[in-house]
Amino acid sequence: MANSTSTSILSFPPQTFAALSPSAFLHAHLNPTSSQSSSTRPNRRSPTEFRVPNINTSSLSHANGSAVVRLGNTAVVCGVRGEILKAEDIPKTYNDLAKSPDETDEEKELNYTTIQELGLLVPNIELSTGCAPQHIPGNAPSAATQSLTHRLRSLLYTSRLIQSSDLRIWSRPANSDIDPGREEEEDEGQDRAPRIKAYWTLYIDVLFIALDGGAFEAAWGATIAALRDTKLPGAWWDADREMVLCSDQLEESKQLSIRGLPVSATLGIFVAEKGRSAKAAPNKRLMRGLGDSGATHHKQEHGAEAWLLADMDAFEEELCQEQITVVLDYSTGKTKILKIEKNGGTFVNIEEMRHMLRLAEGRWIEWKNHLEASKR
């Protein structure tokens, strides 16, 4: 009797397939063989689906404002600390020190430059926490850390989130009544007009607990949530002690007035390996995920097949040739684009950019709802 032999089929678990051929692994998910199956990324999201933000505010008791933001497996803690910058440490040629507490709207608009000129917003990002294998604790700040810090600082100033009037400390509270008896005792020639004696400097510390892609969006979202949670104690200049005093009464603290609600959305373009050839012209590609049909309606000769991915995780970031970050504000009912950044690749056409802006507008609504829910 002949021995029956069984044919063994060579197969790999998904983790091994992803490690051996990551591009083919992602392409297999985005381009299923069955026509009835829809494109689904390895993280079980559709190509244009963002991760749901999870926001908790007032998490740190020692900070003036704090927030913990989680996007999937990315977790960030942000704390805002207020420290005092005395007027005597500012060059006397600076004109803002002579401002009046009662300002017009035009003067307030001009005073947004004060925060940048004096450096009153100081962000700091810490990645060397073991949040990812490439970020070992104790290492010097990496290029990624410095780049994220620069982008965060630049957006804080260009978005004009905070007014300089919220950070000023006066010689006496603005619009306060002076004791008439004390006023008579003062010399007639003495200048009793309130003057700026100091500024609040906000140190914004962003600490990554876990990192799985979307670093800038998570850092910016945590910063916005922490600033919306920030309360500065009532402060004034004491002439007798020649120092700034702060009240320990919670009801005398002042909430920061945030201007608008800028939201960041990051998208990537994944190009299949078979389209990365010399024959595939950079301006000839079939973009999946645009419009209701799921693809553009023109496929030119030798066009590369590509997918638009929203809110990429770390695995997808390594495979996307192009990454686009859109920062916009829709709080007034009209879309205001604050910044568009693009890294890698060659170009993004008008149709693709319009679709990205529509996705970013939807992302703005999602962030707004979760930020408001975190304050309840």
DSSP notation for 185-201: HS-TTS--S--EEEEEE
The β-bridge relationship of strands 53-57 and 65-71 is antiparallel
Q: How many helices (H) and strands (E) does the chain have?
A: 9, 15
Decide if 95 contacts 110 (C-beta within 8 A). Answer: no
CA Rg value for the chain? 27
- Only one residue has tokens 């497996």, namely 73
Looking only at the bridges linking them, the beta strands covering 243-246 and 254-255 are: unpaired
- Burial string for 242-263 (b: 16+ CB within 10 Å, else e) reads eebeeeeeeeebeebebeebbb
Query: Which residue ranges form the domains of the chain, and what is each CATH number?
Result: 22-30+37-49+264-374 (no CATH), 58-177+193-259 (3.30.230.70)
* Burial (Cβ within 10 Å: 0-12, 13-18, ≥19) of residue 162: buried
Sign (positive/negative) of CA torsion 269, 270, 275, 276?
A: positive
- Distance from first CA to last CA of the chain, Å, rounded? 78
If we measure between CA atoms, which residue out of 73, 48, 75, 43 comes closest to residue 59? 75
Contacts of 181 (CB under 8 A, 6+ apart): none
Amino acid at 273: E
- Rounded Cα gap, residues 48 and 268, in angstroms: 10
Per-residue pLDDT of the chain (376 residues; tens, 9 = 90+): 445 555 555 576 777 777 778 888 899 889 887 665 788 999 999 999 999 999 999 999 999 999 999 999 999 999 999 999 998 888 765 655 555 555 555 555 556 788 888 999 999 999 999 999 999 998 889 999 999 999 999 999 999 999 888 999 988 654 444 444 444 444 444 556 778 889 999 999 999 999 999 999 999 999 999 999 999 999 988 888 888 999 888 888 999 999 999 999 999 999 987 655 544 454 556 666 554 434 333 333 345 788 999 999 999 999 998 999 999 999 999 999 999 999 988 778 888 899 999 999 999 999 999 999 998 7
Rounded-to-integer distance, Cα 211 and Cα 213, Å: 6
